[in-house]
Amino acid sequence: MKLARRKFLHLTAATSALPFLPRAAMAESYPTRPVRIIVTVAAGLTPDIVARLMGQWLSDRLGQQFIVENRPGASGNIGTELVVRAPADGYTLLLVTQMNAVNAALFTNLNFNFMRDIVPVAGIARSPLVLEVNPSVPAKTVPELIAYAKANPGKLTMASGGEGSPPHVAGELFKMMTGVDMLHVPYRGNMLPDLIGGQVQVYFGVIAGSIGFIRAGKLRALATTGAARSQVLPDVPTVGEFVPGYEASSWYGIGAPKAIKNDLVEKLSGEISAALADPAVKGRLADLGVELMPMTPAAFGKFLTDETEKWGKVVKVASIRPAL
C-alpha cells in the first residue's frame, strides 16, 4: 500500500506540472515570427531611434525581426490603443513614453485605461531636458530667471511642442514650483528657429536637438531637468539645485497587452536588461543624450504609477486641455 501510495503521489505531482509545460516551452521558443514594436511618434525622433536601437539588438539576439512600426497621432493614443487591442502573445509591444503617463489625465474619453490595459515589461532610458533661453533674456541662472519672471509677470513666452508635450508639462511644473507666470506658446512644428530669433524666450528642450545651438552661443542653457547633472552638459546645473524636488525627464520603456503571460514578460525584460549592459548599446544611447533606466517589470510598474500621479497633478493644476 505504501508503494502504491508513493507511485500515486509521484503521478499526481507529474500530472499537476503538465499545464505549465506549454508556457515554459512558449517562453523558450519565443519568438517564432517577427515582433512589432509600436512607436507613437514619427520616425527620426528620439523615441523612434531608441526603439530601433533596441529592436536591432533583440533581432540579433533572438533570431527574429523586431520591427518598429510608427503610429503617430492623437498624442500617442492611436498607437497605444492598437497595442491594447492586439493579441497578448508577445508579438505586439509598445514603446511606452512619458506621454502615456500625461495622457492618462489629459484625455478623459479614451477607449482604454493605460495603467490597467498595458503591462510594464522593462524600463530603457530617460532623457532630461534643458531649460534654455534666448540670449536676450537678462538671466544667466535659474534664480535670475525666476526673479526676472516674477518682476515681469506674463512677459516671458515659453514655447513647447504642444499641449501636454514633455516640454510643456516640464515648464508647467517649473511654474507651479516657483510661482512664476510665463505665457505658454504651443507649436506644431519646430520652435527652435523662433527661440533663436527671439520670438519666444524660454524652452524646455531636448538636449540632443539644442546642444549645437547652446555651444554656438545662439541659446543659453540655464539648467537641465534631470535628478543629476547631464553627462552631455556636465557644467550646467540641474533645476533641482535651485528648486528642491524638481525633476522632469522624457523616458522610454516597453509595455505589452495586459493578458500577456508572465514568462514572456520575464524573458523580454531579461533580454532588454542584457541589451542595456552591452557597451555598444550604452554608447549609442549616450550619443543620443539619454541615460540608462534599466528596470524590472515590478520597478517599471511602480515608476509608471508614480509618473502618472505626478503629471496628473500638473495637468489638473495647470488646467491643460488637449489641442483641438
Q: List pLDDT tens digits, range 278-314.
A: 999 999 998 888 899 999 999 999 999 999 999 999 9
What is the structure's pLDDT at 188?
A: 86
**Final residue of a structural domain among 222, 241, 260:** 241
Tell whether 193 is covered by a domain: yes
Q: Are residues 146 and 225 in the same domain?
A: yes
In a domain? residue 211: yes
* Confidence (pLDDT) at 127: 93
Domain span holding position 84:
34-126+250-317
Is 1 among the domain residues?
A: no
Q: Are residues 105 and 136 in the same domain?
A: no
How far is 311 from 133, CA to CA, in rounded Å? Answer: 24
Domain membership of residue 9 (yes or no) is no
Q: What is the rounded CA–CA span in Å between residue 126 and residue 226?
A: 9
Confidence category of residue 26, pLDDT binned at 50, 70, 90: low
Q: What pLDDT was estimated at residue 27?
A: 76
pLDDT confidence tier of residue 178, bands split at 50, 70 and 90: very high
> Do 236 and 132 reside in the same domain of the chain?
yes
- Residue 10 inside a domain? The answer is no
Domain at 149, CATH number: 3.40.190.10
The answer to whether the beta carbons of residues 266 and 298 sit under 8 Å apart is no
**236-251: average pLDDT:** 97
Q: Would residue 66 count as lying in a domain?
A: yes
Domain shared by 112 and 141, yes or no? no
Residues 122 and 133 in one domain: no
Same domain assignment for residues 187 and 272: no
For residues 117 and 135, state if they share a domain. Answer: no
Which of 207-211, 224-228, 251-255, 308-312 is predicted with the least confidence, judged by mean pLDDT? Answer: 207-211
In this structure, the answer to whether residues 156 and 224 fall within a common structural domain is yes
- Provide the CATH number for the domain around residue 110: 3.40.190.150
Give the mean pLDDT of the chain: 92
Q: Do 109 and 189 share a domain, yes or no? A: no
Q: Which of 223, 222, 226, 221 is nearest to 249 (CA)?
A: 226
> pLDDT for 64-99, tens place per residue?
999 999 999 999 999 999 999 999 999 999 999 999
pLDDT of residue 189: 84
If asked whether residues 303 and 290 sit together in one domain, one would say yes
| pLDDT at residue number 288 | 85
| Shared domain check, 300 and 207 | no
Q: Domain for residue 59, yes or no?
A: yes
Q: Which residues contact 100 (CB under 8 A, 6 or more apart)?
A: 76, 80, 114, 118, 255, 304
End-of-domain residue from the set 179, 210, 241? 241
What is the pTM assigned to this prediction? 0.88
**Cα 83 from Cα 79, distance rounded (Å):** 7
Contact assessment for residue 49 and residue 285, using Cβ atoms and an 8 Å cutoff: no
| Number of domains within the chain | 2
Domain edge (last residue) among 176, 209, 241: 241
CA pair distance 259, 257, nearest whole angstrom? 6
Distance CA 203, CA 12 (A): 66
Residue 97 and residue 44 in one domain = yes
Does some domain include residue 24? no
